[in-house]
Amino acid sequence: MKLMKTIIAALVITAAPSLASAQSCNNADFEYGNFTNWKAWKGSCNSSGSIFNYVLSPGWDSSRNVPVTQSPDRHVILDQPGLDPNTYTDLALPNDSSIPFQAPGGGKVSVRLGNAVNGAQSERLQFKFLVQANSSAFTYQYAVVFQDPNHQPYDQPRFDIQLYWDSAGITVPIPGQCGAYHVYAGSDTSFITKGTVKYKTWTTVGMDLSAYLNDSVTIEFSTGDCTQSGHWGYAYIDATCSASEISTAYCPSDPQITLTAPAGYVGYTWKDNQTGQFIGYTQSIVLDNPKVGDQYTVYLTNLAGCPTTLITTLDFNPPNDIPLFLLNQNVMTPNNDGYNDKFYTAANYYEMVAPASHDSILKANPLKYVKDFNIKIYNRWGLEVFSSHDYKVEWDGKMTSGKPADEGVYYWMAEYKSTCSIDDVPIKSKGFVHLLR
């Protein structure tokens, strides 16, 4: 049996390379409800000359996702709705400007870094991941609440963002406006003043990481109180990864197409490459009579001043129905050795392993036309052991109860619809997977 297992596993590896080899962008958005894949530090801060310094030591046991000392109020998971108490004004008033705990559009969970306690405290969170085609756009959201003692900028409560490139085992900080971004009390004109507090509500910043494709990067968020100990500052953060591309979803009969650039930029300038004319200055633009082969460029600038250029060519006539995309992976061995530990759909295969080869066949990502996805997995007696509405689902061989499923054959049935479908009839797919332990 052992030999058989090895042979079957080898066959499947050829067909579907493991997805577990490098850290993906999972839980950048904190939607796991914890700090999985994040590292944390805490400590103090000071200044020397005109430089602000962080003095930090590990503050979190990332292997167990628990704080290592007694101050869990400095890295805080916010999974319940609420309003920041230090920016709360009056909900009965229009244009109320208090900061909600969760980032707009950022799901159910965001994080607070730091607290409303002074004493020259500082805190840090880092997230390291492998940049892939589907995760080359890193977008973070932040809000900050600072007491404003009107010190020099390098002594003020602050929030700093730094990008690192992990190249061949060496971690290099990226300098300049595309790697570093600094926010301190009153550092820009968007701050609102309430008594001695200056605050800035949720703000989105996009980072194009295409230059680091297939390398790991680390994003670092740090907060510091005023260095002279008398005033506090903290930040709310959330983040997400997506493809750094112009979205062009449209259907064959559409007389118009909407081009949408990634969110998180303060400047959008669109150019029609056919005429060389600038044709728009918003995140999305609408074009009449889209023609295959036409090319458009968008020039982006984020809040930190970092410029990015994206180009798209209209080279795809989408089908009314999407081809079946569930992969017939028929063996899984959930023993955490990195090979076939999970059963996954071709959506993951497409996005994480073979986007280039897929592109050359279909000329576009068909997954953006998927809607109403549903998959159920049954054991040989017809009992449902797992279900999901996520087309990127990964089944780890555990039943809904959390208990590991027994060895044996499991049947899956999936269905989904195409957003371009005229009759709205679901596309159905089924198969089996042999679970070996």
| Under rule CB under 5 A, residue 99 binds Ca ion | no
Tell me: does residue 117 bind Ca ion (CB under 5 A). yes
Among the listed ranges 102-110, 175-183, 189-197, 348-356, the one in contact with Ca ion (CB under 5 A) is 102-110
Instruction: Rule CB under 5 A: choose which of 160, 225, 245, 351 binds Ca ion.
Output: 225
Nearer to Ca ion, 29 or 160 (CB): 29
The answer to whether 109 contacts Ca ion (rule: CB under 5 A) is yes
For 386, residues 6+ apart whose C-beta sits below 8 A from its C-beta are: 376, 377, 395, 398, 399, 400
Q: Are 223 and 234 in contact (CB under 8 A)?
A: yes
Cβ-based nearer residue to Ca ion, 30 or 339? 30
Q: Cβ 113 to Ca ion, closest distance in Å?
A: 10
- Tokens 């890295």 label which residue? 75
Nearer to Ca ion by Cβ, of 30 and 52: the residue is 30
Give least dist CB 203 to Ca ion, A.
Answer: 15
Report the C-alpha gap between 207 and 178 in whole angstroms.
Answer: 8
The closest alpha carbon to 437, from 320, 318, 336, 294, belongs to: 336
- Nearest approach in angstroms of CB 140 to Ca ion is 10
Q: Which residue among 164, 212, 232, 343 contacts Ca ion (CB under 5 A)?
A: 232
* Choice between 237 and 257, CB closer to Ca ion: 237
Binding residue for Ca ion (CB under 5 A) from 24, 47, 98, 121? Answer: 121
Contact call for residue 160 and Ca ion (CB under 5 A): no
> Contacting Ca ion (CB under 5 A), which of 60, 78, 98, 106?
106
What's the CA gap between 432 and 320, in Å, rounded? Answer: 27
- In this structure, what are the phi and psi dihedrals at residue 144, rounded to the nearest 5 degrees? -130, 145
Residue 223 lies near Ca ion (rule: CB under 5 A): no
Q: Is the distance from CB of 295 to CB of 313 less than 8 angstroms?
A: yes
x-marked contacts with Ca ion along 28-67 as a string, rule CB under 5 A: -xx-------------------------------------
Tokens representing 261 are 């650039």
Q: In this chain, which of 82, 107, 175, 230 binds Ca ion, going by CB under 5 A?
A: 107
DSSP structure string for 237-290: EEEEEE--S-B----TT-SEEEEEPPSS-SEEEEEETTTTEEEE-SSEEEEES-
What residues does 203 pair with on adjacent strands? 142
Q: How far is the CB of 359 from Ca ion (least distance, A)?
A: 29
Task: Determine, following the binding rule CB under 5 A, whether residue 204 of this chain makes contact with Ca ion.
Answer: no
Instruction: Please report how close the Cβ of residue 370 comes to Ca ion at its closest, in angstroms.
Output: 22
CB of 30 to Ca ion, least distance (A): 5
Binding-site size for Ca ion (CB under 5 A) equals: 11
At CB < 8 A and 24+ separation, what contacts does 18-23 make?
18/338, 18/339, 18/340, 18/341, 19/342, 19/344, 19/348, 19/349, 19/352, 19/353, 19/394, 20/338, 20/339, 20/341, 20/342, 21/338, 22/130, 22/216, 23/128, 23/129, 23/130, 23/216
Compare residues 98 and 121 and give the one whose CB is closer to Ca ion.
Answer: 121
DSSP class of residue 99?
A: P
> What's the closest the beta carbon of residue 8 comes to Ca ion, in angstroms?
39
Q: Is 238 in the site for Ca ion (CB under 5 A)?
A: yes
Determine the Cα–Cα distance for residues 179 and 181; give it in Å rounded to an integer.
Answer: 7
Interacting residues with Ca ion (CB under 5 A): 29-30, 106-107, 109, 115, 117, 121, 225, 232, 238
